[in-house]
């Protein structure tokens, strides 16, 4: 069996995904065969593996960091929120039904422990090291009994745990100490130490605090990673997109032509795979922003209606906010609109949905000659084709089956005037096709925009992953990290009081 490590966090968004990817890239550059793993992921950003399995987009990115092909083994349980209280459960890459949070944590989650441990063991038998990512915080004491992604998987594999804290938010010392002190003695035995993320300033000013933390917990800090702008690495959850902000905090490179190109992305509810627009944001002179008001579409050269886990809900939202009327005006004026997956379905004439929303028969925006029927079986595919005279690759994740009755063919969808629609995610990552598409958009928008002739999205992604590997190699104690991965948690780690509280008694229905 191989060695391994669990990267946990004091909070969601502490940096677990990027640290895991960075460790994978660092190890790969050292000649170590490594695989990423996340037992359970909650995300609306997902990806389709070559064997047709749906996994979290972050795990696909981490597999790329490790230079291995992503598989369902790397993310055996994926939860895709459909609202505040329910999610679609995807098991080993295939949907197995909708479940409430209460139902999942009430028993189904614990029953999946054997499955996730089996996947981890299979990876460990294949690779020299497996770098696991936790979820949220390991000190979620209300969920510890059924946990399979944080200390539950660490205990099962006897993996050391590295806790990542986001110092840019503040309170990182209290978060490190409190996270450790709320774990049981058996869990604390696996918490090897800490990693500070997103530090700005002089590290020497931080070092006294790190020394005091060592004295308080008996656990060292394995590195201090500096704050890094514009990493452009895939996010897990589209629900937390900051509206009206530039995508990925990236700095827009100057345009090759005389004009920039402005792209507005409608921030629909339950937005999924908003990573589709990353490739647009990577183009010099293209400015991408998320919007939620009709007036923000006025100066946009291209409007993107992205994927969503709630097509009918998104349709209602567009109408309530006046965005539907604004899209119709754009279509009538010959101004570009692109619908992707759920956004494509919204632009059609009619939707029959007894599966996702159970809304039945619903009229779409009528901008494309398409009728959509939701099937219970999800389409998961990795299509390859051609559009605008250029080769295109993508991936499909949808329940809606589209019947296209007119327009010009466009990938699996169609085009009418300057309104385009397709189910294909990731198509804009095909460089030649993206450039041809932007030329079409600029022409229709009357902009003197010229795509850069040499922008390679794949190369940019590799550079970003190398940057993550550099952050680990240059700012973490890599010798100590490797020792953790190879040898496991240090012996004799002290217990920090008070430890986990006694399990709360199960409340009866009458007591609720």
CA 207 to CA 508: how far, in whole Å? 49
Tell me the C-alpha distance between 438 and 451, whole Å. Answer: 7
Distance CA 234, CA 464 (A): 11
Pairing type for strands 307-308 and 271-272 reads: antiparallel
Catalytic residue flag (residue 425): yes
d(CA 494, CA 478): 23
Segment (H or E) for 264:
strand 261-266
Give the span between the Cα atoms of 242 and 32, in whole angstroms: 37
Active-site residue among 132, 266, 341, 414? 341
Cβ–Cβ under 8 Å, residues 164 and 15: yes
Report the residue count for the chain.
512
Instruction: Check whether the bond before 398 is cis (ω within 30° of 0).
Output: no
Strand 3-9 with 161-166, pairing: parallel
Residue 277 near residue 288, CB atoms below 8 Å = yes
Q: On the CB side of 145, how many CA atoms lie within 13 Å of its CA? A: 12
With tokens 């990806």, the residue in question is 47
Query: Which residues are annotated as catalytic?
Result: 341, 425
């Amino acid at each position: 069996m191989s060695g391994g490590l669990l990267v946990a966090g004091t909070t969601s968004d502490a940096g677990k995904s990027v640290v895991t990817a960075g460790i994978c890239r660092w190890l790969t550059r050292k000649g170590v065969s490594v695989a990423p793993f996340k037992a359970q992921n909650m995300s609306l950003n997902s990806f389709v593996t070559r064997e047709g399995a749906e996994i979290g987009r972050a795990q696909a990115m981490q597999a790329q960091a490790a230079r291995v092909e992503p598989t369902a083994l790397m993310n055996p349980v994926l939860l895709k929120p459909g609202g505040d209280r329910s999610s679609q459960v995807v098991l080993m890459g295939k949907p197995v039904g909708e479940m409430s949070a209460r139902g999942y944590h009430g028993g189904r989650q614990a029953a999946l422990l054997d499955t996730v441990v089996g996947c981890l063991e299979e990876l460990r038998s294949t690779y020299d090291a497996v770098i696991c990512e936790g979820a949220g915080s390991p000190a979620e004491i209300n969920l510890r009994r059924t946990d399979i992604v944080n200390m539950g998987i660490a205990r099962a594999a006897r993996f050391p745990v590295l806790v990542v804290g986001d110092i840019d938010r503040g309170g990182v010392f209290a978060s490190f100490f409190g996270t450790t002190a709320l774990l049981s003695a058996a869990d604390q035995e696996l918490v090897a130490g800490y990693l500070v993320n997103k530090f700005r300033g002089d590290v020497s000013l931080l070092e006294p605090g790190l020394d005091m933390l060592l004295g308080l917990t008996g656990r060292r800090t394995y590195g201090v990673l500096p704050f890094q702008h514009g990493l452009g690495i895939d996010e897990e959850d589209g629900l937390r997109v900051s509206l009206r902000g530039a995508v990925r905090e990236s700095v827009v490179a100057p345009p090759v032509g005389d004009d920039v190109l402005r792209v507005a992305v409608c921030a629909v509810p339950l937005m999924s795979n908003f990573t589709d627009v990353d490739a647009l944001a990577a183009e010099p002179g293209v400015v991408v922003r998320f919007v939620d008001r009709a007036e923000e579409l006025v100066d946009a050269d291209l409007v993107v209606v992205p994927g969503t886990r709630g097509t009918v809900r998104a349709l209602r939202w567009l109408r309530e906010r006046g965005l539907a009327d604004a899209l119709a005006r754009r279509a009538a004026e010959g101004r570009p609109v692109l619908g992707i997956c759920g956004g494509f379905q919204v632009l059609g004439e009619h939707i029959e949905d007894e599966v996702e929303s159970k809304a039945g028969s619903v009229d779409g925006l009528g901008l494309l000659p398409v009728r959509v029927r939701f099937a219970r079986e999800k389409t998961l595919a990795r299509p390859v084709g051609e559009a605008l005279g250029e080769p295109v690759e993508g991936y499909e994740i949808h329940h809606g089956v589209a019947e296209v009755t007119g327009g010009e063919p466009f990938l699996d969808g169609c085009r009418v005037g300057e309104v385009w629609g397709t189910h294909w995610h990731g198509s804009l990552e095909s460089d030649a096709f993206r450039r041809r598409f932007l030329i079409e958009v600029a022409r229709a928008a009357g902009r003197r925009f010229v795509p850069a002739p040499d922008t390679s999205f794949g190369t940019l992604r590799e550079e970003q992953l190398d940057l993550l590997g550099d952050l680990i190699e240059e700012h973490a104690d890599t010798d100590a990290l490797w020792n953790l991965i190879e040898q496991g948690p240090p012996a004799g780690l002290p217990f920090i009081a008070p430890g986990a509280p006694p399990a709360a008694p199960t409340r009866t229905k009458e007591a609720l």
